[in-house]
Structure 1
Amino acid sequence: MDMITALDGPMAALRATLAGKPPRQAREPGAPRKPREGTKQETVVAMLRREEGATIAQICEATGWQQHTVRGFFAGLKKRQGIEVQVLERVRQVGPNKEGARGSYTIYHLPA
């Protein structure tokens, strides 16, 4: 019994604090969800929609993601949203006086 009376004051204060919050805006059933703004995913999609596209290195720099995370995001776009990331250009730096595989890159792009 002592425990219940000891918690009555703090619980009442918590309930009062929570009651003061404005209610969340409920969306209508069946209405599409509004995507959040300013997310890393939004940044990547914007980069891919540019006319010049984007490389994985550019996306990694903009988001702080690792290369495998960017590639996984590309796969998720195709699987969950049906958006296929296209290859705009592949540049291979192999042979004498080239950087080898490290100098190679691919430019990715999303169709309009």
Structure 2
Amino acid sequence: MANPQKPPTAASKSSALASGKLGQIIRLLQRAKGATIDDLTEVTGWQAHSVRGAISGQLRKRHGLAVSATPDASRGLVYRLPKAGGTR
């Protein structure tokens, strides 16, 4: 007899997102100072184009997160994500 699997719940999806490399990216983006591509590549071990792809594809498109990018004279382009429950 086959054992039907339950579809993933919202809680399990969010816990899966919070763990792993995407979770590391999210935590860095939620810092007050945000994160640069260099910060994110250092933490994940990914190449810059992979980090940008994760931000665009996974975080923005798939998960609907409002990642912003603002230029900073000393650091370059800084990515930010508002903390959960917070407003900008």
User: Within the alignment, does 1:47 sit opposite 2:28 as a pair?
Assistant: yes
Aligned residue pairs, count: 76
Equivalent residue for 1:109?
80
Q: In the TM superposition, what are the counterparts of 1:59-70 in structure 2 within 5 Å?
A: 59-70=40-51
| Higher Cα Rg, which structure | 1
SS in 2 for 1:52: coil
CA RMSD of aligned residues (A): 2.5
TM-score, normalization by structure 2: 0.70
Tell me which stretches of 4 or more aligned residues in structure 1 moved more than 6 Å. none
Once the two structures are superposed, what CA deviation does each residue of 1:85-109 show, in whole Å capped at 9, x if it has no partner? 11243327xxxxxxxxxxx621110
Q: Flag the structure with more relative contact order, 1 or 2, with Cα contacts below 8 A and sequence separation at least 6.
A: 2
SS in 2 for 1:108: strand
| Change beyond 3 A, Cα 1:78–1:52 | same
